[in-house]
Amino acid sequence: MRILFTPLAGIAHYFHLVPLAWACRAAGHEVRIAARPPVDAVVRSGMPVLRAGGRYDFTAGLAEAHQGIQREIGRAPRPGDLAALPPETVRRLRHARLAPHVRAAEDMAEDLVPFARTWRPDVIVTVPIVLAAPLAAAASGARLVRHLWGPDISRHAGFPGLGAPPAEWPPDLVRLYERYGVEPQADHALRNIDPCPASLQIQVPDRIPVRYTPYNDNAELPGWLVEPPRRPRVCVTWSTVNTQLVGSDGYLVPEILKALESLDVEIVATIPERDHALVGELPAGARLVSGLPHDLLLPSCDAVVHHGGAGTLLTAARHGVPQLVIAPVADQIFNAQRLAATGVGIGMIADETAADAIKAAATTVLTEPAVRAAATRLQAEILAQPAPTDLVRTLEDLT
């Protein structure tokens, strides 16, 4: 069987696909990845990759759309912001938010559709925001399966291909499908593979649960991590792309470190090297590290403070670690809300958060037995799900 995986831009979305891609390859199937550049992370994962797109700067487009909507509504967008607006305003802002995704689809389709028609995959596994994948599947006759990466904000936000009728799609996306002779449908996918535990998730149709299995790229295990910590250890981490979307003014790591400074904890800040200059002065005894996978670090931690990215959230959940989420953008606010509802931690909105509130929330997450118990329950829920290797037969049965 031939299986084509199609992540979008950014390593985070690809990392969620790696365990299933390797499970398929280990079972003897032909696997290819079609991804927007840069593709270095795909190559490091041992998978053959096709460059699909790269002529359009997706990250810059996202930042422009985010900042434009923020100027119009007066603050960073949040889940539910559009509900109170007039229908025409909702439609215009929704299309503005989708514009970079449509441009990325146009860019990817130029390479993806010809490849799919030539290679003829049996199944295409994609993520919800790759709008070119349903087009490629329909154009090549492949079965389409969607792979989620956390709480399904894309469905909640009304993304094309997730149930919204084509009449509500951005016109440029409809024209793209028509250009390749494909009739748009409300949902092209047969099933939805979901590594997010049901207690964190919204309602997802045709759901196939799978155990969340962290993959964090290549790494070397540092010697200090082998030794047990002498004090409660707190991981502080932040998004690799948030500063590009909301600017350095929304970079809260210095405030988080300041809030934790007076607590009797060991702080490990995992920050990409390009953001080290934004961190400022470290508290005494704190470590600043780069490239250390959360899957290696978090089992030794008593809590984690982060921005609400799905990969960090689910990796911490798999290891039963209580969480404090300080979320700056809409999808991460959505994740924070879902997490807080489980009792596994506390969710806060970044632009409404003061240092004393961070300290109080971190203290609660570290010391409250109910939070620890909820984290243990969520961990057990994740570990009870089928492994990625168990899903290979499900994909085989689709063909």
Q: Within this chain, do residues 228 and 182 fall inside the same structural domain, yes or no?
A: no
Assigned domain for 197 exists: no
**Range 269-289 average pLDDT:** 93
Tally Cβ neighbours within 10 Å of residue 380. Answer: 11
Expressed as residue numbers, the domain containing 42 is 2-189
Please give the Cα distance from 10 to 331 (Å, whole number).
15
Q: Is the dihedral of CA 294, 299, 304, 308 positive or negative?
A: positive
Instruction: Give the amino acid at 84.
Output: A
Non-local (6+) Cβ contacts of 380 within 8 A are none
Give residue-wise pLDDT tens across range 327-384: 998 899 999 999 999 999 999 999 888 889 999 999 999 999 999 999 999 999 999 9
180 close to 106: Cβ distance less than 8 angstroms: no
Please give the Cα distance from 344 to 52 (Å, whole number).
39
Q: Within this chain, do residues 239 and 155 fall inside the same structural domain, yes or no?
A: no
299 close to 292: Cβ distance less than 8 angstroms: no
CATH number at residue 299: 3.40.50.2000
Q: How confident is the model at residue 250 (pLDDT cuts 50, 70, 90)?
A: confident
Assigned domain for 194 exists: no
Assigned domain for 22 exists: yes
Assigned domain for 342 exists: yes
What percentage of the chain carries pLDDT values higher than 90? 79
Residue 227, burial from CB neighbour count under 10 angstroms (0-12, 13-18, 19+)? exposed
Q: Within this chain, do residues 59 and 122 fall inside the same structural domain, yes or no?
A: yes
Q: Within this chain, do residues 156 and 240 fall inside the same structural domain, yes or no?
A: no
Please give the Cα distance from 208 to 394 (Å, whole number).
9
Of 242, 226, 199, 220, the residue nearest 385 (C-alpha): 199
Give residue-wise pLDDT tens across range 146-194: 999 999 999 878 899 999 899 999 999 999 999 999 999 999 999 999 9
Q: How confident is the model at residue 311 (pLDDT cuts 50, 70, 90)?
A: very high
| 13 or 82, higher pLDDT | 13
211 close to 195: Cβ distance less than 8 angstroms: yes
Please give the Cα distance from 5 to 49 (Å, whole number).
9
Non-local (6+) Cβ contacts of 153 within 8 A are 79, 330, 331, 334, 335
Q: Within this chain, do residues 182 and 303 fall inside the same structural domain, yes or no?
A: no
Assigned domain for 392 exists: no
| pLDDT the model gives residue 11 | 74
Q: Within this chain, do residues 236 and 360 fall inside the same structural domain, yes or no?
A: yes
Tally Cβ neighbours within 10 Å of residue 126. Answer: 27
Give the three-state DSSP class for 227: coil
Examine the pLDDT at 9 and tell me if it is beyond 70. Answer: no
Assigned domain for 88 exists: yes
Q: How confident is the model at residue 289 (pLDDT cuts 50, 70, 90)?
A: very high
**Range 263-277 average pLDDT:** 94
| pLDDT the model gives residue 246 | 67
Alpha carbon distance, N-terminus to C-terminus of the chain: 9
Please give the Cα distance from 298 to 35 (Å, whole number).
29
Give residue-wise pLDDT tens across range 186-245: 999 999 999 999 999 999 999 999 999 999 888 889 999 999 999 999 999 998 777 666
Q: Within this chain, do residues 172 and 235 fall inside the same structural domain, yes or no?
A: no
Of 104, 15, 106, 7, the residue nearest 60 (C-alpha): 104
Q: What is the mean pLDDT of the chain?
A: 93
What are residue 210's phi and psi, to 5 degrees?
Answer: -145, 145
Q: Within this chain, do residues 183 and 231 fall inside the same structural domain, yes or no?
A: no
Q: Within this chain, do residues 276 and 340 fall inside the same structural domain, yes or no?
A: yes
The DSSP annotation for 349-379 comes to: EGGG--HHHHHHHHHHHHH-HHHHHHHHHHH
Domain boundary among 189, 206, 234: 189
Burial pattern 302-313, b for ≥16 Cβ within 10 A else e, equals bbbbbbbbbbbb
Q: Within this chain, do residues 23 and 139 fall inside the same structural domain, yes or no?
A: yes
399 close to 1: Cβ distance less than 8 angstroms: yes
| pLDDT the model gives residue 247 | 67
Predicted model pTM: 0.95
Of 314, 320, 266, 321, the residue nearest 288 (C-alpha): 266
Please give the Cα distance from 271 to 289 (Å, whole number).
6
Q: Which pair of tokens denotes residue 138? A: 């329909």
Q: Within this chain, do residues 100 and 232 fall inside the same structural domain, yes or no?
A: no
- Pick the range with the lowest mean pLDDT from 91-95, 251-255, 312-316: 91-95
Q: Within this chain, do residues 111 and 252 fall inside the same structural domain, yes or no?
A: no
Residue 273, burial from CB neighbour count under 10 angstroms (0-12, 13-18, 19+)? exposed
Domain count, the chain: 2
Assigned domain for 214 exists: no
Cis check: omega of the bond before 38, within 30 degrees of 0: yes
| pLDDT the model gives residue 329 | 87
| pLDDT the model gives residue 86 | 86
